[in-house]
Amino acid sequence: MREAHPTERAVGIDHYVSDADGTGGRLRARPDDFRVREIERGEFEPIDAASDAYPHLVFRATLHNWDTNDFAGALSNGLEISRERVAWAGTKDKRAVTTQLFSVAGIERDALADAAAGLDDVDLTLVGRSGRALRFGDLAGNAFEIVVRDAETPSVEAITDDLRAFGGGETDGGDTDTGADATADTTATVGVPNYFGQQRFGSLRPVTHEVGLEIVRGNWAGAVLAYVGNPYGSEPDDTREARAFVERELRADDGETGLKAKTDGWEAALERLPNRLGFERSMAHRLVENGAGSEAAFRAALEAVPSNLQRLFVNAAQSYLFNRILSERLERGLAFDRAVAGDVVCFADPDAPEGLRLPDPGRSQRVTADRVDTVNRHAARGRAFVTAPLVGTETELGADEPGEIEREVLDEAGIAPADFDLPGAFHSTGTRRAVLVECDLDIERDPLTLDFSLPKGSYATVLLREYLKVDPVDLG
């Protein structure tokens, strides 16, 4: 293992699995260098099914250089409907070519075709009808084809060998990064820690987990200040200066509660915050309205932002703790591809598409010492997966050494599962998530191209980072 980039360490990612030097290179030099296609699951009614019984028209869109949210907004504008009537299964980044499912309520096919025709770089195919809107997560996974420009490729085989071994597979067993093998295309089954990627926390300003951790601790003022203050060097000058004002003038002397802040101080902050910082301004405006003399006022400020962002803060805190647990497991040398006594495993989704390793966290089991060998036979066949907690009120922590790791990480953060018993959108019951993500990887050279599929919820960047070993900002 080698130490991760400092920006990654700030979000709980402490290591690279591979010791080999990275290839470097550039992602997304042009949109078609990064192709993502959703792996769909489920079936829909025919297009000509009765629209009163099946009011949601489902379609597949291939988007060239479109952010998912921007496309939904543009489509709803073209249809002259609320954006709330457009739904999708998974959010994708802009600088890419993405193929994904959408649904739209109460619209006929001709109107949809006309609206799509008015949008550049959009290819649309009708799929069917549904009795409900698509929900986030209504997919099995994503297939990626990613081109890395200007990469140095001699170490590709060494990296692949490390990742093959980490996933429990056999290695080539020798020096494969020289000679003829160093220029050959590669096919391998590889594994990496199932970290939450940098995008989960903010690629340019990774603070969402800091906000969430303060919320879970009950420090509502600290949460507001972590979001509105907390300047980063990657931000524009006016943004950085406004956040620095908040830090300097409004944070309490003890650096914790933030209750030093007075209403007139937030008025001054509101004057400084650029208009493009809409959520920060909403929080500041609520504090001007309600005053800033109590934790209740700061909680109300956080509730001024959309509920999905409120959930994101807490989800990011859970993701950070999960990353820390994985990093500690790596540090202690515990395997990721097989269980030890005290682990909690989940089993494979029986309805997963063929060839996709899809864990089902709803089907879990504690591993006792007398069950380790049996469970690991299932793990070797891709039928069971070692998990770690996304901590919430109903979280079952592990036992023995895995449980010790989980409890130490929570203690270090000053958090307990019961702390997630929070109001409204901040509340979370928690779940578990596989610690290892495996994939069948095809690698081509000149240019370096990686072709692989991942289950839903896993990040392509957790694989890409092992190969490129660049600043995580350049992976976004």
H-helix or E-strand containing 127?
strand 122-130
Nearest residue to 311 via CA among 417, 420, 414: 420
Looking at 33, 93, 161, 162, which residue is catalytic?
93
Count of beta carbons in the 10 Å neighbourhood of residue 36? 19
Nearest-10 Cα torsion for 158, 161, 162, 166: 170
Tokens of 103: 């649904």
Pairing of strands 186-193, 344-348: unpaired
Pairing of strands 34-39, 97-105: parallel
Q: What sign results for the dihedral spanned by CA atoms 49, 55, 60, 61?
A: positive
User: What does the alpha-carbon distance between residue 229 and residue 247 come to, in Å, rounded to a whole number?
Assistant: 5
AA letter at 391: V
User: What does the alpha-carbon distance between residue 100 and residue 85 come to, in Å, rounded to a whole number?
Assistant: 17
Say if CB 230 and CB 201 are below 8 A apart. no
Q: What is the secondary structure of 329-382 as a DSSP string? A: HHHHT--SSS--TT-EEEEE-TTPPTT---EEEEEEEE--GGGHHHHHHHHHTT
Name the DSSP class of 291. -
C-alpha distances (whole Å) from 306 to each of 228, 280, 303, 320 are 15, 12, 7, 22
Reported residue count of the chain is 476
Q: What is the secondary structure of 453-469 as a DSSP string? A: EEETT--HHHHHHHHH-
Supply angle C-alpha 450, 325, 399, rounded to 5: 125
H-helix or E-strand containing 130?
strand 122-130
H-helix or E-strand containing 59?
strand 56-64
Known catalytic membership, residue 120: no
Specify which residues 436 forms β-bridges with. Answer: 193
Q: What is the secondary structure of 267-278 as a DSSP string? A: HHHHHHS-TT-H
Specify which residues 60 forms β-bridges with. Answer: 101, 125
Long-range contacts of 285-289 (CB under 8 A, 24+ apart): 287/224, 287/261, 287/263, 288/263
User: What does the alpha-carbon distance between residue 339 and residue 375 come to, in Å, rounded to a whole number?
Assistant: 7
SS3 201: coil
Question: Among all residues, which ones are annotated catalytic?
Answer: 93
